[in-house]
Amino acid sequence: MTTSSAARGYLPTGNAEVLTRQDVEILGFVAEMYGVQLDQLAALLAGRGEPADSAADRAGGVVARWRAAGCAETGQLTLGEPWVWATRKGLDACGLRPKVVKPATPGLRHTHAVTHVRLAVERTSAYRDSGATWRAKRLILAGLGYPARFEHIPDGEVHWPATWGAPWAGEIWAVEVEIARKSVERVARAMQEALARTSDYGSPQASVAGPGQPPWYARLVWVCSPASVRTVLNARAKLGAALSARIKVYDLPESAMRLNTPKRGWEP
């Protein structure tokens, strides 16, 4: 009697069974973020139980296996640690079908910073204990049935389960990672649009800000570089006390924007 692929814990990819369910979960994280540097992948594995002293080697081994299976590719896209991203085959295994596969070089500093924030959020006890989930910008865009060029899409969302016993149970928070200085007007407009939204992206335009409907986002979380924090604070102040109370501003560590980490593996 043969054992089914599901019983063995493997998922079919093309004509070969190459990815475990844990692989699909971890590769899915990489795919959702467009790509990650190897040290961030090691941090992800460490956050999910891999001993810190072996996380870097484990990350390298995982990526080598993904590459051998044709599900991932690596490259020296910036200084420091190499980048890893899902190939078309890997994206198919994760249920993603975007047009672009390789992460765009101009946005890698921002991609790195958003991944840093997501890893930090997922390490918190509240996130872990509640069973919260992160919806990445790439997933939001994948679900749109119309062009998104006229809408501001957050870098991610945190969805808190309604069954969790906390004051914010059932809420959705938008997460924005700001590394470049923008105009106060532009940031305030993005804040107002997000706070006024009453339905998910992809909904008919008429219901985006439906009167009398509860807000889609209970809170906005803005994580800012030193260069952008003053602009973000000024933009928040322009909205008035009621709306400003729903916007939390946090500092983004300089390390989150640094791409040239020396190639010595992940360190805690």
96-100, 161-165, 173-177: which is most confident = 173-177
Residue 261 has what pLDDT?
A: 62
Q: Are residues 221 and 254 in the same domain?
A: yes
pLDDT at residue 62 is higher than 80: yes
Residue that finishes a domain, picked among 103, 136, 151:
103
Q: Are residues 95 and 151 in the same domain?
A: no
User: What single DSSP character describes residue 133?
Assistant: E
Q: Are residues 135 and 260 in the same domain?
A: yes
Q: Are residues 45 and 147 in the same domain?
A: no
Residue that finishes a domain, picked among 103, 135, 157:
103
Q: Are residues 266 and 161 in the same domain?
A: yes
Q: Are residues 166 and 112 in the same domain?
A: yes
Q: Is the pTM of this model over 0.75?
A: yes
Residue 225 has what pLDDT?
A: 96
The number of distinct structural domains making up the chain is 2
**Percent of the residues in the chain that have a pLDDT greater than 90, as a whole number:** 68
Model pLDDT for residues 88-145, shown as the tens digit of each residue = 999 998 888 887 889 999 999 999 999 999 999 999 999 999 999 999 999 998 877 5
Q: Are residues 74 and 39 in the same domain?
A: yes
Q: Return d(Cα 4, Cα 146) in angstroms, integer.
A: 39
Q: Are residues 111 and 97 in the same domain?
A: no
φ/ψ (deg, to 5) at 115: -65, -40
Residue that finishes a domain, picked among 79, 103, 127:
103
Q: Are residues 155 and 23 in the same domain?
A: no
Domain of residue 40: give its range.
1-103
Q: Are residues 120 and 253 in the same domain?
A: yes
